[in-house]
């Protein structure tokens, strides 16, 4: 899968641009481009995103800096939302899987586009509520929710996606006692469909050996139990088969499998009103990635469910999906400042930047591939192949093993593409490095959406027992 643009004197970073005319932006699926839809080269030969000069953004906000293109994010939301309205004859609701990047501004944007939000912890839940997401469009997931998290969800009135027997018992016991005021709680059941798909082993969740969801064999027992619980209002079924998926077939299969479950539930007197088909559509990180468009994915899912319902003469359930990566991933880049370089003759040149595995843990965790460019010299020939290293005390802290770049100098602005999903949300303070700031860019304006952490922030949670005070 590794493909680097040829290191020939004629190739430049312009090669990575979407090259979409402003009038054509609306029809483009952001997940199919290496850079956000508004990426351009300006008169200074710099990368511009959302009408903002990237090196200027770094001057103003520092680096590393996550730069989010509002236009690309809104476009992706609209394509999911309008795609379902076009292709699914029943009701639909798109949820943003906020584990990809949960913060106030991003939740507020997706909510303003009519999307709901899928959350997986009390922290994500509270952030979404604070961002103004309606609790009727909030769904709480998780394979080991605490009672506290269940209480928060019930109190807010959001839907709880019950994952396993432990949770089913915990929830019904609580609703039968201290939580009685919240009964009946609105729940869905998460099931494991046993559908394999080709993605990284760590992020497959639809196969049977998964920590998530009820096994299909347990369904009769689960449905029988749930149908007896007056404290539960079971509105639907949920499944998610994995992430960064380029094939459409697994989701088509999932649609029909879920309609079979719906029929089984009906035999236990459970009227399934909602089917949530999860997320999983992949994005383009490198030239060799060729994901389907959002529109194509939506059509396949919508057709599969509609067809299966028609065949079994069932009325159409409300159809939900919960993409994360394909909504936010391609909307963002991370800008770093180049620092030291180490040339090992005949082996490689390491070019180090001022961030790394703490702001983007995906290369070291999943061997994920990215592209880099020098944002202040977009037309310079990509004449060198270097290894882009992070600043962390770990040899594996490599962002890109073989990046095609022009000769770079300390102070250059290096941009890594497609960092919107699972970067900020998985960022850490490894080596006590403060987490970067994030800015939202739109029509030449840039607004902070996450402040850069300070050294005071890093020390805030530390406690020094009196007997250790020097
Ligand atoms: N729904 C559920 C229940 C999920 O577990 C996930 C992702 C999604 C929706 C959204 O999937 P997406 O549309 O983003 O593919 N950290 C990994 C990805 C983990 C995905 C976890 N679940 C990575 O960086 O690739």
279 lines ligand 1 (CB under 6 A): yes
CATH number listed for the domain at residues 13-69+331-454: 2.40.37.10
Domain ranges of the chain: 13-69+331-454, 141-323
Q: Hey, whose CA ends up nearest to atom 4 of ligand 1? A: 240
**Atom 3, ligand 1: which residue's CA is nearest?**
240
For 410, the token pair is 């300390």
Residue 468, pLDDT above cutoff 60: yes
Nearest atom in ligand 1 to 324's CA: 14
Confidence of residue 279 (pLDDT cuts 50, 70, 90): very high
299 within ligand 1 shell (Cβ under 6 A): no
Percent of the chain whose pLDDT exceeds 70: 96
The Cα 13–Cα 153 span in angstroms is: 46
Q: How remote is the CA of residue 323 from the centroid of ligand 1, in Å?
A: 8
Ligand 1 centre to CA of 242 (Å) is 7
Question: Which atom of ligand 1 is nearest to 423's Cα?
Answer: 24
Using the atom order of ligand 1, give the atom closest to the CA of residue 282.
Answer: 15
Nearest alpha-carbon partner for 195 in 176, 209, 177, 180:
209
What pLDDT score was predicted for residue 66? Answer: 99
Tell me the pLDDT band of 203, cut-offs 50, 70 and 90.
low
Percentage helix, strand, coil, to 5, in the chain? 35, 25, 40
pLDDT at 206: 57
The DSSP code sequence of 402-470 is EEEE----TT-EEEES--SSSSGGG---GGGPPPPEEEEEETTEEEEEEPPP-HHHHHTT----GGG--
Distance from C-alpha of 194 to C-alpha of 322, rounded to nearest angstrom: 19
Query: Does the Cβ of 366 fall within 6 Å of ligand 1?
Result: yes
Q: What's the whole-number average pLDDT of the chain?
A: 94
* Distance from residue 151's CA to the centre of ligand 1 (Å): 24
81-116 pLDDT tens trace = 999 999 999 999 999 999 999 999 999 999 999 999
Share above pLDDT 90 across residues of the chain, in percent, rounded to a whole number: 91
Task: Check if 360 has its Cβ closer than 6 Å to any atom of ligand 1.
Answer: no
Distance 378 CA to ligand 1 centre (A): 33
Q: With a 6 A CB cut-off, is 282 part of the ligand 1 pocket?
A: no
Does the pLDDT at position 322 exceed 90? yes
Interval 206-236: pLDDT, tens: 557 789 999 988 999 999 999 999 999 999 9
List, in sequence order, every residue forming a beta bridge with 324; answer none if it has no partner: none
pLDDT tens for 361-415 read 999 999 999 999 999 999 999 999 999 999 999 999 999 999 999 999 999 999 9
Task: Give the Å distances, CA to CA, from 40 to 44, 100, 449.
Answer: 11, 25, 22
What is the Å distance from ligand 1's center to 433 Cα? Answer: 26
Determine the pLDDT at residue 394.
97
Quick check: 252 and 304 in contact, CB under 8 A?
A: yes
Tell which atom from ligand 1 comes closest to the C-alpha of 238. Answer: 3
Q: What is the mean pLDDT of residues 119-136?
A: 98
Give me the DSSP letters along 214-238.
B-GGGHHHHHHHHHT-TTEEEEEEE
Tell me if the bond preceding 146 is cis, omega within 30° of 0: no
Q: Which atom of ligand 1 is nearest to the CA of 242?
A: 15
- Return the pLDDT at 20: 76
283 lines ligand 1 (CB under 6 A): no
Q: Is the CB of 28 under 6 A from ligand 1?
A: no
- The SS3 call for residue 102 is coil
Nearest-CA residue for ligand 1 atom 19 is: 203
Q: pLDDT tens digit string along 51-63?
A: 999 999 999 999 9
Task: Name the residue with tokens 């019950």.
Answer: 162
The finding on whether 142 has its CB within 6 A of some atom of ligand 1 is: no
Residue 199, pLDDT > 80, answer: no
Q: Which residues are catalytic?
A: 393
169-187 confidence digits (pLDDT tens):
999 999 999 999 999 999 9
pLDDT attached to residue 202 = 46
User: What's the gap in Å between 192 CA and the centre of ligand 1?
Assistant: 15
Q: How far is CA 301 from the centre of its chain?
A: 19
Minimum CA distance residue for ligand 1 atom 7: 243
Q: Give the closest residue to 277 by CA, choosing from 298, 296, 308.
A: 298
pLDDT at 198 (0 to 100): 61
The answer to whether the CB of 98 is under 6 A from ligand 1 is: no
Taking the centre of ligand 1 as the mean of its atom positions, its distance from the CA of residue 324, in whole angstroms, is: 6
Give the pLDDT score at 2: 45
Segment 412-438 mean pLDDT:
98
Q: Which residues contact 197 (CB under 8 A, 6 or more apart)?
A: 204, 206, 241, 242, 245, 247, 250, 280
> Distance (Å, rounded) from C-alpha 144 to C-alpha 129?
21
- The alpha-carbon radius of gyration of the chain (Å, integer) is 23
Q: Does any ligand 1 atom lie closer than 6 A to the CB of residue 240?
A: yes
CATH architecture classification, 141-323? Alpha-Beta Barrel (3.20)
| Residue 21 confidence class, pLDDT cut points 50, 70, 90 | confident
Question: For residue 194, what pLDDT is reported?
Answer: 80
């Amino acid at each position: 899968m590794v493909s680097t643009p040829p290191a020939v004197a004629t190739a430049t970073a312009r090669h990575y641009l979407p090259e979409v005319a402003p009038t054509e932006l609306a029809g483009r699926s952001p997940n199919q481009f290496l850079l956000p839809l508004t990426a351009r080269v300006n008169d200074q030969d710099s990368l511009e995103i959302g009408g903002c000069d990237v090196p200027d953004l770094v001057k103003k906000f520092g680096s590393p800096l996550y730069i989010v293109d509002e236009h690309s994010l809104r476009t992706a939301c609209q394509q999911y939302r309008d795609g379902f309205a076009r292709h699914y004859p029943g009701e639909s609701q798109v949820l943003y899987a906020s584990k990809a990047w949960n913060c106030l501004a991003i939740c507020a944007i997706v909510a303003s586009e009519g999307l709901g939000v899928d959350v997986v912890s009390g922290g994500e839940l509270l952030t979404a509520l604070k961002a103004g997401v309606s609790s009727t469009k909030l769904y709480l997931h998780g394979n080991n929710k605490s009672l506290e998290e269940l209480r928060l969800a019930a109190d807010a009135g959001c839907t709880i996606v019950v994952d396993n027997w432990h949770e089913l018992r915990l929830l019904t016991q609580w609703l039968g006692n201290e939580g009685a005021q919240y009964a009946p709680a609105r729940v869905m059941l998460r099931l494991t469909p046993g559908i394999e798909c080709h993605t990284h082993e760590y992020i497959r969740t639809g196969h049977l050996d998964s920590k998530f969801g009820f096994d299909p064999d347990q369904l009769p027992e689960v449905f029988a139990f749930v149908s007896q619980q007056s404290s539960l209002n079971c509105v639907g079924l949920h499944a998610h088969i994995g992430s960064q998926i380029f094939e459409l077939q697994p989701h088509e299969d999932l649609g029909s499998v879920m309609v079979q479950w719906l029929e089984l539930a009906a035999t236990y007197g459970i009227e399934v009103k909602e089917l949530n088909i999860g997320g999983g559509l992949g994005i383009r990180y490198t030239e060799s990635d060729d994901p389907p468009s959002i529109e194509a994915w939506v059509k396949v899912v919508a057709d599969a469910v509609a067809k299966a319902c028609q065949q079994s003469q069932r009325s159409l359930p409300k159809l939900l999906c919960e993409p994360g990566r394909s909504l936010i991933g391609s909307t963002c880049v991370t800008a770093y400042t180049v620092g030291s370089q180490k040339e090992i003759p005949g082996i490689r040149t390491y070019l180090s930047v001022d961030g790394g595995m703490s702001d983007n843990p995906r290369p070291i965790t999943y061997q994920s591939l990215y592209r880099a460019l020098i944002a202040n010299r977009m037309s310079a020939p990509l004449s060198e192949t270097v290894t882009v290293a992070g600043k962390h005390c770990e040899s594996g802290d490599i962002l890109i093993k073989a990046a095609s770049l022009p000769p770079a100098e300390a102070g250059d602005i290096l941009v890594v593409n497609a960092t919107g999903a699972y970067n900020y949300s998985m960022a850490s303070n490894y080596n006590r490095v403060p987490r970067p700031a994030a800015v939202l860019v739109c029509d030449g304006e840039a607004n902070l959406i996450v402040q850069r952490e300070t050294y005071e922030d890093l020390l805030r949670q530390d406690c020094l027992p009196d007997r250790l005070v020097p």
